Amino acid sequence: MWFELLILIIGIAFGFFSPGKQSLWGLLKKGLIVGIVLAVILGLIATFLVPGGFGLAVGFLGGIGIFIGIVILVIIFIVGVFIGDFLEGVFKKK
């Protein structure tokens, strides 16, 4: 939970200190691409490092889990960026 809260705070800071509105769709696409790449790489590493026939299942299921975890963190970051953009608009008007 602390890690997710840290991601949210970093997203708020990114949205607040970056001038103008952020491209939330662009952030989501980049996050999904990073998630897919990391999931494939770490899944392949797990496939070759775990001995026996069990390694194949751990690798691919581990890759899916890594991808889902990264997507959830990207969504939390995007929510933080949205909140940061909102706060930036509120404080810049005054």
Residue 23 in this model has a pLDDT that exceeds 70: yes
Domain assignment present for 90? no
Distance CA 56, CA 5 (A): 33
Domain assignment present for 16? yes
Tens of pLDDT, residue by residue over 40-92, are 777 777 777 766 555 555 555 666 777 788 888 888 888 888 898 888 888 87
Domain assignment present for 53? yes
Domain assignment present for 6? yes
Domain assignment present for 48? yes
Distance CA 37, CA 86 (A): 31
Q: Is the dihedral of CA 81, 86, 92, 94 positive or negative?
A: negative
Total domains present in the chain: 1
- The model's pTM is 0.72
Domain assignment present for 94? no
- Smallest CA-to-CA distance from 18 within 85, 82, 89 is with 85
Domain that holds residue 68: 2-85
